[in-house]
Structure 1
Amino acid sequence: MTFSEVTKTFATSLPGTDSYVKLRKAMRALIQEDPKNASVYFLIFGFARTYVMLYEDQEVSPQFAEDNQKLMLSYLNILDEALNKQDAQSIYQALNKVVNEYENSKKVF
């Protein structure tokens, strides 16, 4: 499965921890399959892992789940666009953009 396919799957999944469990597993697989872009996959793996750890046993509002799915999807789209360019500079810039956006967010992951 490619990063683009994972992004599309996440976009159409129901908001909730199950989607993040699947995302985490997909990122782990991509780390093994595409080690040259492991940092991209590891960043998303970490976000997904944290989301599951924080919220799997808690009731969250549908709005909270939807808002965070949209946020994650925005990160996935930024990284997907860069990966599709297959240019190291674009990927590096996308990673920095996601990290900076995360740092200025509520840090729910």
Structure 2
Amino acid sequence: MTFTEVVNTFADSLPGTDSYVKLRKAMQKLIHEDPNNASVYFLIFGFARTYVMLYEDQEVSPQFAEDNQKLMLSYLKILDEALKKADGAYLYQALNRVINEYENSKKVF
């Protein structure tokens, strides 16, 4: 499975922890299959893991789940675009962009 396929699967999934469990597992698999881009996959793996740890046993509103899925999807799209360019400097900038956007967010995962 490619990163683009993972992004599309996540975009088509229902908001909620099950989607993040699948995302986490996909990132773990990609870390092993594509070690040259492991930092990208590990960042998303960490976000997905944290989301599951924080919310799997809690009831969250549908709006909360949808908003956070959109936020995660925005990060995934930034990184997907960068991976497609196959340019290390561009990918590094994309990672920094995602991290900076996350730092300025509510940090829900």
TM-score in terms of structure 2 length: 1.00
2:108 alignment counterpart: 108
Deviation, 1:68, is 0.0
Q: Percent identity?
A: 84
User: Gapped runs of 5+ residues in structure 2?
Assistant: none
CA displacement 1:20-79 (0-9 Å, x = unmatched):
000000000000000000000000000000000000000000000000000000000000
Counting only pairs closer than 5 Å after superposition, residues 6-85 of structure 1 correspond to structure 2 as 6-85=6-85
TM-fit CA distance, 1:7: 0.1
1:3 and 1:87 map into 2 onto residues whose CA distance is 16
Q: Which amino acid aligns with 1:51?
A: Y
Partner of 1:3: 3
Name the SS of the counterpart of 2:70 in structure 1.
helix
**In structure 1, C-alpha distance between the alignment counterparts of 2:33 and 2:87, rounded to whole Å:** 18
Unaligned 5+ segments in structure 1 are: none
Give deviations 1:6-25, integer Å, cap 9, x for gaps: 00000000000000000000
Give the letter for the 1:6 counterpart. Answer: V
Measure the CA separation in 2 of the matches of 1:84 and 1:47.
21
Indicate the SS of the match to 1:105: coil
- The residue type equivalent to 2:107 in the other structure is K
1:71-107, Cα deviation, whole Å (9 max, x unpaired): 0000000000000001101110000000000000000
Q: Which amino acid aligns with 1:54?
A: L
Q: Which runs of 4+ in 1 moved over 6 A?
A: none
Q: How many residues align?
A: 109
